[in-house]
Amino acid sequence: MAVSRTVETGGSDGVKDSAPARAPEGMAGLAKGLAVIEAFGETSSQLTVADAARLTDVTRAAARRCLLTLTDLGYLTHDGKYFRPTPRMLRLGGAYLDTASLPVLAQPHLVAARDALTESVSLAVWEDGWSVFVARAEAERIVSTGVRVGARLPGHCSATGRALLAGLTDDEVAAFLARGGRERRTVKTLIAPEDLTAAVEAARADGYAESDEELELGMRAMAVPVKDARGRTVAAMSVSASSARVSVAEMRRDFLPVLIEHATALGRML
């Protein structure tokens, strides 16, 4: 199994950058550029040079070079202070979404579940402490939850995150909880390790996970694991709804069977 290591490389301004260890033939510049691209997200739709340096843990000089190169290539725009993604950035994620079997196989099940529930249904995978949405069937409502394909949600307080955490080993869950730095998104967000451990254990025992206004007040969500033929959790299928429209009891009674049905059917294909 590959071991993650960190080395320090000298920046052009004399300050050392922290970057993942690479084989001798690796490209440090490419690694930094990709880190800058990943820094743009739901909570950082525009970045300054200082923002990019802070989020990627590289020097300001390195961050500036990456941002200017991406601007020259048409992936970003620059107004003198802020850098913002252009539509060309979609090509990077599109290469995965157009060819990966999981989103393609999942889409019909997401659509069927959405039609049965008249609520938006999504598919997410685990990525380094985050729940990342790779497919979605959106319900037609005036007010949207704001979740989109490519969005990342914190693993500790999202329903998909907890369903995916429940599929990890005890050691992996403990390592995640030991990181700290968990954000309290609302007054209901659980952040204490013992509370989150209990929530993950409940998700394992029950076969589903919930997030009741922990991510955003007024919204609740439920997720179930998608398991492949070996019984490994490879994704989580979720539904989210306004707390004013659907109670927790109604989600368990009406939504859970539909999610289980389609997550199980998808798992048989993997």
Residues 6+ apart with CB under 8 A from 5: 20, 21
**Digit-coded pLDDT (tens) for 124-144:** 999 888 999 999 998 876 445
> Distance between CA atoms of 204 and 195, rounded to whole angstroms?
14
The rounded mean pLDDT for the chain is 84
> Distance between CA atoms of 210 and 212, rounded to whole angstroms?
6
What DSSP line would sit under 205-220, residue for residue? Answer: HHS-EEEESSSSTTEE
- Tokens read off for 15: 């300050």
- Tokens read off for 89: 């950035």
Give the model's confidence band at 19: pLDDT under 50 very low, under 70 low, under 90 confident, else very high. very low
> Distance between CA atoms of 138 and 122, rounded to whole angstroms?
8
> Distance between CA atoms of 6 and 15, rounded to whole angstroms?
16
Q: Are the beta carbons of 224 and 163 closer than 8 angstroms?
A: yes
End-to-end CA distance of the chain: 23
* pLDDT reading at 42 higher than 70: no
Give the model's confidence band at 26: pLDDT under 50 very low, under 70 low, under 90 confident, else very high. low
Residue 17 confidence (pLDDT): 43
Backbone angles phi, psi at 140, to 5 degrees: -85, 100
Angle of helix 28-39 relative to helix 49-56, nearest 10 degrees?
110
> Distance between CA atoms of 171 and 49, rounded to whole angstroms?
37
Lowest mean pLDDT among 1-15, 149-163, 255-269: 1-15
Q: What percent of the chain has pLDDT over 70?
A: 84
Backbone angles phi, psi at 244, to 5 degrees: -75, -20
pTM of the model: 0.66
Q: Are the beta carbons of 173 and 200 closer than 8 angstroms?
A: yes
- Tokens read off for 31: 């690694």
* pLDDT reading at 6 higher than 90: no
**Digit-coded pLDDT (tens) for 78-128:** 999 999 988 888 777 666 655 568 888 999 999 999 999 999 999 999 988
Location of structure tokens 């659509």? 111
> Distance between CA atoms of 130 and 151, rounded to whole angstroms?
10
> Distance between CA atoms of 188 and 213, rounded to whole angstroms?
6
**Digit-coded pLDDT (tens) for 165-192:** 999 999 999 999 998 788 899 999 999 9
- Tokens read off for 261: 């049905």
- The pairs formed by 145-149 with CB atoms below 8 angstroms and a separation of 24 or more are 145/120, 145/219, 145/240, 146/42, 147/120, 147/122, 147/240, 149/93, 149/97, 149/103
Residues 6+ apart with CB under 8 A from 163: 203, 208, 209, 223, 224, 225, 233, 236, 238
> Distance between CA atoms of 182 and 174, rounded to whole angstroms?
14
> Distance between CA atoms of 153 and 151, rounded to whole angstroms?
7
